[in-house]
Structure 1
Amino acid sequence: MNPCVYLHSDSQITLAWLKTEPQQLTVYVSNRVKTIQEETQGFSWFYVNSHENPADALSRGVEPHLLETNELWWRGPGFLYCKEFPNNRDNFTMPTDIPETKVCLAVDKAEKQEKLEVFSKFSSLNKLIRVMGYVYRFINICRKKAKRNAGRLSCQEVDASLKMIIKYDQQQHFKEEIAGLSLGKEIAAHLKALNPFVDGMGLMRVGGRLQHADLPYYQKHPIILAKKSNITHLIIENEHKTLMHAGQKLMYASLSQRYHIVNGLREIKHVVHKCLITGATLSTVPEPNISNIPINRLKFWKQCSHMTQCFWKSWSREYLMQLQSRPKWRKPLPNISKGMLVILRKDNAPPLVWPMARVVETFPGADGKVRALTVITPKGTVMRTSIGKVCLLPIEDNQNQI
């Protein structure tokens, strides 16, 4: 017969968290509650008052000479010696207001449609952000998560408001994909190349291929925006005005620093073509006065020097964002391991004369994927090569090691 384990805590909030599903709690609390629930599975939790809790002596502090005569510390609370224990420990009532819980709103289809119509009534992104920012501030004040503040929105509140708006929009357009990522299932083919993931705030971001690039987090993992979305169009329109009615390519490069828009160029083109200022073409190209040749040459030289300094930085920043999508390697494949038999690819030789080799050592990267390995040929030559220079033989010996 397995012994019973009874655990006690003098924190009613902690006990309430432990009796709550982790997915209903915020990320920080949820991770810790899940770990405790897994480690104490099958154990029983009870509430103990602070004056009956032996651990309270250490947490509050006690002098050594007083601890020597502290019966609670040495013998524990008296209820442990009662014959009715643990049946007499049902003394805990779940609180009605549990902190650090997520708010889940159950709405029907008609209510969802009404919310979408409210969002579509805004023609300005800044106005929508500020209206929702004040709404979220009011909610946080009611939940006692923030102090009363009648001033302007802070930068943090503006940023949080924008992210909450995008999160809602993603739930409308990528509901199945987000649910699939949460359950570890495969997602739609048009997003699979991005290797998406859901961050701690619930936003779907690009996993991409730039995890080790020297870039900020929001550039390595831009937020995914849906096509044909009013929120996406408001973001594009706001960026268009910020860049002084720039063209499509410049708009795309600028937005790609923070967002990945599905069918981005087409969505940008749809918004830009509605702009009357951008649509008006110039009949002539303005030219500077070049009557003073030496001054003109000096200006030209300065302009070329400045372009030379900025070209590499601008080009690399705009080009890197185009490497997020994965044209291949969309499905995980097993690693090559030590002892497998492979064929070494030779660039200047036909495949029929490529030599065989045995893998003697592998060098996995930070993600656990093997990208380099050491092989030995039948002639005893040991060489190090990359994963792209070998072909795994489809033989039973190799299959058994996968």
Structure 2
Amino acid sequence: MERVRNSTLEETSGNTEFYFSHFPVVRSESLTTKLRVVFDGSMKTSSGISLNETMKVGPILQDDLFSILLRLRVHKIVLISDLEKMYRQIWIHSDDRKYQKILWRKEEHEDIETFQLKTVTYGTSSAPYLAVKCLKTLANDEEKAFPNASKIAKRDFYVDDLITGVESEEEGIALYKELTVMFGKAGFNLRKWISNSESVLNAIPGENRADQLDSVFQNTMKTLGLKYNPKTDTFLFSLQPGNIQFTKRNILSEIGKLFDPLGLISPVIVTAKMFLQELWLLNFSWDEKLDEKTVLRWRQIVSGMEHINQIQIDRHAFVSSSSDIEFHGFCDASEKAYAACLYVKCKHNGETTVKLLCAKTRVAPVKQISLARLELCAALLLTNLIKKVRESLDEHSIGRQWFAWTDSQIVLAWISKLPCKWKTFVANRVSAIQEVLSPDQWKYVKSEDNPADLASRGCSSLELSNAKEWWNGPTWLVSDSYKQDNTQVVELNNVPEAKKIKVTSLVVAPELDIFGRYSHYSKLIKITSLCLRFIFNLRQKKENRATGFIKQEELSSAECCLIKMVQQEKFSEEMDRLNKNKPVNQNSKLKSLNPMIDQSGILRVGGRLENANIEFNRKHQIILPPEHKFTKLLIVHEHEKNAHAGQQVMINHLRQKFWILNSRTLIRQLLHKCLRCFRAKMPPPSNQLMGNLPKERVNATSRPFLISGVDYCGPFQIKRLGGRMNTFWKAYVVLFICFTTKAVHIEVASDLSTKTFLAALKRFSARRGLPAEIFSDNGTNFVGANNELKGLESSTAMMGIKWHFIPGNSPHFGGLWESNVKSYKRHLKASIGNQILTYEELLTISTIVESYLNSRPLVPMFPNDPEDFDVLTPGHFLVGGSLLSVPENNVIDVTSNRLTRWKLIQKIHQSFWKRWSTEYLHHLQQRNKWMVERNNIKLKDLVLIREDNLHPLQWAMGRVVKVHPGFDDKVRAVEVKTKNGILKRSVTRLAPLPIND
């Protein structure tokens, strides 16, 4: 609070501000604040409006009192505290302080001064929200540093009161420290600590406890209005009837003093509720004195409550949070009230305990209803109570068994059936019950064993204190015999409230969908004309009937009939208004066309061409909707009729007679789906996002060529020298490439046979080591024929080599060796030109080209970098350096430690692989094409198989029968069934037909 300068009347005119009225409230039972100053924000000003009426209240951010007290019964150790002057620890914005002004003076003889409050003020409507919002914000900000305290602050605060618990004393001390530090960061002080554990209290400084340590266990503390004795760890109730004048107002005030949010003593309180209802029916005014009979009835109720002070209820209802826990709810109803009570059953260390958890009661409505309906209302009350307890207990209720008990067989019969079988009153409540509890969870209990019967009838406090079945449930609940299904359901014929089912037979003739039965416009017109001829002949004499071929007049009549059907279906509202000589609505999509109906009843364009010297159909086109099947059949028919004309030609042609709404979009869509147009326009190939490099290319191996690719190139013509004439024949080059280092090995083969290739493979393995895996294509230039392919696969398997084949006709799958074959041919052509070499010369040149390829840098070089000449090449992994580098000096005679030299060689070799992982591997990161993710080709899609040497109209058509998705679920290879068999192809060699869209 700060003093502000007193303003004159002229200075304050036009300014918006508010002055509180304030008064003291004395609370003698309070431990800390005996006198509380209350500021009245609801006081109306001279304008007739109070401050609270202009403020926004804000949403509710904390749990209700029932949930917080319910959770208090879960934990073994209780922790209760209070935030000291919570509202006064929170600043408000300086611009808003003018709305919190007061007038004050300390002594009567002093002048009155003006003060304004700088903090959140108790008495304003937004104060609870602002204070709680600060607590929530603090908990969110400190969640990482104080996870347990943050969780408690969000869940277990009711305004400024902390009510929580833990399972052990160590956890309680740790939580106290964590809460104290977290709230201290925001300037809050937790005080008045209460606990049922002496060890926990000993860890708390005396000034922060509710009272001195010795007196804590002697006094009874009020916890949110409910009395709690920490020494006995019990809840208590007290009632001190006042000496009042017996009026309806005063009695209502006395009943309001019975504070029992968990419903633990609801059998006693429900008697007061029933009396209040009776009092209401007697039509007493608020301050009218009651008659003697009514006062006597009230005195009897009060006398029945005199033993409430003797009732003590164990706070701790859960033996252990890790024990086997079940929840059992009971409900019952009488003519005056209905009730529900919930018990928790715990099994721990061979012992079973059952304790009352909470209860609810309701008085029966004034309008009398049947007892069966009241029993159903009790079942719904129990259902809502179980739902609320589930939400409140959260993790303590998950995975637990829930049982609901009622002594009404009629209610069980109602719940066991679908709600639709009952009348509205029963159906609505059964539906709400079945949303929370299944019919299997409901059980039957005898009336004498139903503890809810006590709460539905009411009783005195003395009877309640001795009612063991109320505090601990039926005696048989300790055993498990009830888990057998003992539900006795009344036969359906005897159950009241059953809905009478009225059977009505209604036959609806299905509408003839002639447009959906035919896929060609001409056939649709011909069938319609035959139907019209049949109808015409039925009305004519035999000699006047139409026979023979269909005439043009009949086709035109059929077309007009179909057009009117389409227009009546899509433009019925517009046609109705036009037939009544009314204009179409302003929001109609035909408004701009100025539509009209001709003599045949067809809707046409009115337009602005009435004076044009053109034929009638071009002047007033027939209007057609774009989404109808007839319109689409018409466009396809005219498109095929006009030699598959393009979009603009089709628009111009159709508008000679028809005006199709949104015609440009519709025609473009239909022409896109025309298969003949699609095949004639060089269909674009399918593609997919370039896949990730296989693991064989991006993971280091123990040596080069452990994983290799192989391909043939050639043939090359070679000659044999000798004699007068040279003999010429063909030779081939077998190129092996290492998947990891891109090192190349070249062999010369005399033919394409499996035998010759195996010989080249053996030579390669003898010099480079036996590969573990080989990748290759399965084209005819490699395997020759299918039989040789099987022989090759079998032979390499005997050598311990795993062979992989890429999809056919998909060279980009083998781009690694294809690019090196291209480089080999370029070097060979540059070296020999048009010369024809001998076998030895070709082998020599090929080996030299191999050394060139193995000396290429693996990553791009930067000419401006003087240190960029020591680049990594495949040769580093083969011989320790580039194959074309200058030989080093002979250092054999230099004395050195052999072990040191060996370690140096190992270090150099390992440095090559390190450079490979840091320089070369990152060079492979980018995708140079196919950078957009496409939709996958799916099973049963129709596709065209691209052939480079054929016109698209000659490409084979097939259906996808199998897809091969990669690790990223992207399909890049499929198997296609054609008339010649099943082919495996890359998606880049396929063109999906537009009918798949």
Query: Into which bin does the TM-score normalised by the smaller protein fall?
Result: 0.3 to 0.5
Larger relative contact order (CA 8 Å, sep ≥ 6)? 1
**Higher helix fraction: Structure 1 or Structure 2?**
1
**Higher strand fraction: Structure 1 or Structure 2?**
2
Who wins on radius of gyration, i.e. which is larger?
A: 2
